[in-house]
Copies of this chain bind each other. A is one copy, B any other.
């Protein structure tokens, strides 16, 4: 003869509520999930019993029984920077609207870490994944495909998505920015990217190169920032640029954070922006429009990317959308004071 395990987890269970209400556990479950199927009087009794017992529904048990966890996983390069926070907000808002819990993990821009992180999250049996980026290790793709979990990739473009894709062409966007600067009359345009092999960063660099090539312009050295999420490294790059002999007329940065750090560093050293050096960023962040001079950038619908990705994913999970959905979001080059062409 065995004794009861530990006397139970703690709080009331559905069974307890059922006893108090004088019904079966199944009826309690129905009251909670499909109240319209339950007789009104019984429903009231059950609801009273729930209050009386202080019952809190157990989603862990529910997940196991129903084989649906009611969670989606969000994989992003970093949680600490402002870069993805609007996209997180987009996903998070949709999740709340649709009563799903978002669980999040960061990869630090390292594919091997992404692999580890996705494997760890798979153990929690999320109903789907939203992933920032389209470049993954072979093992990551295999794992995801084998698991059969719906996936939406975002913030980048690819011809071979794992499943669905909220597509943003970093190449096109940075090419457009470069061409806009060329149209403004700039010729010696430098680019600041990153040394990490982040695919989105690479695509932006390529877009810049394509923009320069299309205009028949030579491409100066491409500089690499260390930490792409800090203004400090933008400032460090600015120092580097100022220390060189041949100062470019304009510098395009991988993102607005780096650009802002550099813009302020240039000014600190007495350079006038844009008269002495023009500065452009990428991302369309709030602070860009407030800076003096206001920062030219490529405006991206960051929150919308998160929203759309979550919507597509949840629709798919609920069977309301097919696999392999594609949705492209646009971008807009916002020319502002930091690149206003002025006579020299």
Is B82 touching A82 in the complex (CB atoms < 8 A)?
yes
Taking a contact as CB atoms under 8 Å apart, the answer to whether A286 and B230 are in contact is yes
Residue of B nearest to A56 (CB): B122
Q: A303 — which chain B residues lie within 8 A by C-beta?
A: 80
Count chain B CB atoms within 10 A of each CB in A58, A60, A63, A119 and give the residue with the most.
A60
A12 nearest CB across to chain B (Å): 10
Identify the closest chain B residue to A119 (Cβ): B56
Q: Is A124 interfacial (CB 8 A cutoff)?
A: yes
Chain B residues with CB below 8 A from A265, complex form: 290
CB pair A86 B92 closer than 8 Å = no
Dominant secondary structure of chain A at its interface with chain B: helix
Check B59 against A290 for contact (C-beta < 8 Å).
no
Most buried by B among A61, A63, A123, A124: A124
Given A58-B125, A125-B59, A261–B232 Cβ distance below 8 Å? Answer: no
Does the CB pair A85–B81 fall under 8 Å? yes
- Would A231 and B287 count as touching, CB distance under 8 A? yes
Select the stretch in A99-107, A189-197, A326-334 that faces chain B: A99-107
Question: Among the listed B82, B122, B264, which residue makes an inter-chain contact with A85, where contact means beta carbons less than 8 Å apart?
Answer: B82
Q: Is the CB of A88 within 8 A of B92?
A: no
What B residues does A121 contact at CB under 8 A?
101
A175 at the interface (CB under 8 A from B): no
> A67–B290 contact, CB under 8 A?
no
For residue A319, CB closer than 8 A to chain B, the reply is no
> Is B261 in contact with A290, judged by CB distance below 8 angstroms?
yes
Task: Report 16 cross-chain contacts, Cβ distance below 8 Å, ordered by A residue.
Answer: A57-B123, A58-B125, A59-B125, A60-B60, A60-B124, A61-B64, A79-B89, A80-B86, A81-B85, A101-B103, A101-B121, A101-B124, A103-B103, A260-B290, A261-B290, A264-B292
Excluding A56-B119, A81-B85, A101-B120, 4 further A-B contacts by CB distance (< 8 Å) are A80-B88, A85-B85, A92-B104, A101-B121
Give the top 9 A-B pairs by smallest Cβ distance, nearest first. A80-B89, A59-B123, A60-B63, A9-B67, A231-B290, A264-B290, A57-B123, A59-B124, A60-B64
